[in-house]
C-alpha cells in the first residue's frame, strides 16, 4: 500500500472512536482521499429517527465538499466486528455524484480486508 493509503487507514481508525452510535452500537470510520492526496475523515452519527442518521461515508464526503474538493480516488472504511462492510445504497449514490471509479478498502478491527471499486459494486447510479 502507498503511504497515503496507510495514512487514510490510520485516520479512519482514529475517527472511528468518535462515532455516535448509541442505537446500533456499530461504529464506522471513513476516510476519503482526494486526487491531490488530501484526506477527509468522517464517522457515523446516529439519530433516534433512523432515517436522519448520517453514515461515515457521507460525513467524510460532505466535509471534503465543504472544503471545495470534488474529485476523489480512495475511500477507506473501518468497522468493528469481523465482517467487512460496504457503503449503503444512499452512500453509493452520493459518492457516484463525484467519482465514477473510486477504489474502496474495507477493514475490520480484527484485520480482515476487502478491496473493491465503486464501479464494481454500483455500476449504474442515477444521473440527470
Mean pLDDT for 51-60 is: 97
Q: Which of 26, 29, 34 is nearest to 15 (CA)?
A: 29
Q: Report DSSP letters for 40-80, one per residue.
A: EEEE-B--SSGGG-B-HHHHHHHHHHHTT---EEEEEEEES
pLDDT at 1: 59
Please measure the distance between the N-terminal and C-terminal CA atoms of the chain and give it in whole angstroms: 36
**Cα–Cα distance between 1 and 59 in angstroms, integer?**
24
Higher pLDDT, 45 or 2: 45
**Cα–Cα distance between 36 and 13 in angstroms, integer?**
21
* Catalytic annotation, residues: 57
CB-hemisphere CA count at 13 Å for 55?
19
Structural domains of the chain, with CATH: 3-121 (3.40.140.10)
Q: How confident is the model at residue 101 (pLDDT cuts 50, 70, 90)?
A: confident
Mean pLDDT of the chain: 95
Amino acid at each position: 500500500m502507498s503511504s497515503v493509503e496507510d495514512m487514510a487507514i490510520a485516520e479512519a481508525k482514529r475517527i472511528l472512536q468518535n462515532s455516535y452510535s448509541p442505537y446500533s452500537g456499530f461504529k464506522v470510520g471513513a476516510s476519503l482521499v482526494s486526487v491531490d492526496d488530501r484526506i477527509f475523515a468522517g464517522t457515523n452519527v446516529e439519530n433516534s429517527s433512523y432515517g436522519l442518521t448520517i453514515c461515515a461515508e457521507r460525513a467524510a464526503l460532505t466535509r471534503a465538499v465543504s472544503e471545495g474538493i470534488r474529485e476523489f480516488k480512495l475511500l477507506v472504511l473501518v468497522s468493528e466486528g469481523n465482517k467487512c462492510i460496504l457503503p449503503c445504497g444512499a452512500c453509493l449514490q452520493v459518492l457516484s455524484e463525484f467519482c465514477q471509479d473510486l477504489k474502496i478498502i474495507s477493514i475490520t478491527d480484527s484485520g480482515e480486508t476487502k478491496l473493491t471499486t465503486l464501479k464494481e459494486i454500483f455500476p449504474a447510479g442515477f444521473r440527470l
